[in-house]
Structure 1
Amino acid sequence: MRGPLLLIGCGFAALALSTALGATFGLGLVFIGVVGGLAYGLGVGGLAERRWIIIPALILGVGAAFFLAFGVHSVLMQRIGHVEHCTVTQAEEHPFTKYPSVDYVLACPSGEVELSRSWNDRLLIQETDVLVAPPLEPKFADDTRWNLWLVTGVPLAMILLVGVARAVRRVP
């Protein structure tokens, strides 16, 4: 029983690390969270000693990596970030790539900010609002669509699934 609990604990730690680093350094660190989600799912399956619980545990664990990486950053920016009115100083368009986008360099009161947007959501005027909260990555103010209940619901569901795994554990 020690092995599954260790996997679950390491999975939670990797998800927390991925979420914290993703909000601070960028979202490219989601891979750490995916590995943590896989460890969590395998740990829950081992704890329950039932095969049917592995599928929802893996789905929840891997989904949590993406959900928390994007949602926690957005919720933190809504809660502690402040809005700055910024002006576009440079825009580099990439319309003919596989995923068309525009890279912006913005002059804000707190300093220069670099952000990207998809081609369909590109700015039509040379001014925009940006949420800033150092050391978190800045983001466009209109990109915050997550709420606190959705983001906190994922870790709570993961904890409840560990309880379910213990409840359905085979008793000798």
Structure 2
Amino acid sequence: MRTAWLLTFGGLAALALGIGASITLTYGLVFVALLGGLAYALGVSGLSQRKWIALPAFVLGLVTPFLLLHGVHSVLVHRTGQVEQCTVTSEDEHPFAKYPRVDYVLACPSGEVELDRDWNDRLKTDRAQVVVGAPLLPLWADDSRWNLLVVTGVSGAMILLVPVARLLRRQP
């Protein structure tokens, strides 16, 4: 029982750490969040000791890191950051890669920014709008904005699944 609690709360902590580090440092740290989501799912499954709760726990554990990474980042940057007019200083095209894209280096008033775009959405001019909000990673200003309800709803579902799993364990 103690192991299940440690996995559940340790998984939630690793999820929060991985999401926080991924939106401020680098997207590569989403792996920490994914491991946290899986630990959370194992912990909730162990708390309830019911087989059917494992499916929603693992779905939440696998989907939440990616949803929260992009959702929390987008919500925070668009709410706290400012839009800057930037000029493209260089671009590196990758049209024949598995996922064709263009890597841009932009000169913004707050400093140099590196962003990439899909090949089909590449810039037509040498000017672009970028949303910058330190310490968060910058985003294109025209990126879709996430709904705060989606971001908080998934987090709330993860938190509410813990007492549900605990209550299911008490039933004979």
Normalising by structure 2, what TM-score? Answer: 0.96
Runs of 4+ with deviation above 3 angstroms? none
Give the aligned partner of residue 85 of structure 2: 85
2:11–2:36 Cα contact (<8 Å) kept: yes
Cα distance in structure 2, aligned partners of 1:73 and 1:141: 13
Cα distance in structure 2, aligned partners of 1:29 and 1:93: 26
How far does the alpha carbon of each residue in 1:4-44 deviate from its partner, in whole angstroms, 9 at most, with x for none? 11111011011101110010012111111111111101100
Give the aligned partner of residue 142 of structure 1: 142
Report which stretch shifted further, 148-157 or 162-171: 162-171
CA RMSD of aligned residues (A): 1.1
Q: Note the C-alpha offset of 1:144.
A: 3.6
Cα distance in structure 1, aligned partners of 2:20 and 2:163: 25
Cα distance in structure 1, aligned partners of 2:153 and 2:171: 30
Q: Which amino acid aligns with 1:32?
A: V
- What are the ranges of 5 or more consecutive residues in structure 2 without an aligned counterpart? none
1:76 matched to 2:79? The reply is no
1:159 matched to 2:167? The reply is no
1:105–1:113 Cα contact (<8 Å) kept: yes
Cα distance in structure 2, aligned partners of 1:13 and 1:89: 40
1:27–1:70 Cα contact (<8 Å) kept: no
Identity across aligned pairs (percent)?
A: 60
Q: Note the C-alpha offset of 1:145.
A: 2.2
1:121 matched to 2:107? The reply is no
Count of equivalent residues: 172
Normalising by structure 1, what TM-score? Answer: 0.96
1:93–1:102 Cα contact (<8 Å) kept: yes
Secondary structure at the counterpart of residue 33 of structure 2: helix
How far does the alpha carbon of each residue in 1:48-67 deviate from its partner, in whole angstroms, 9 at most, with x for none? 01011011101101111111
Cα distance in structure 2, aligned partners of 1:85 and 1:21: 27
How far does the alpha carbon of each residue in 1:68-115 deviate from its partner, in whole angstroms, 9 at most, with x for none? 111111110011010001111111111011111101011111111111
Alignment of 1:35-46 (within 5 A): 35-46=35-46
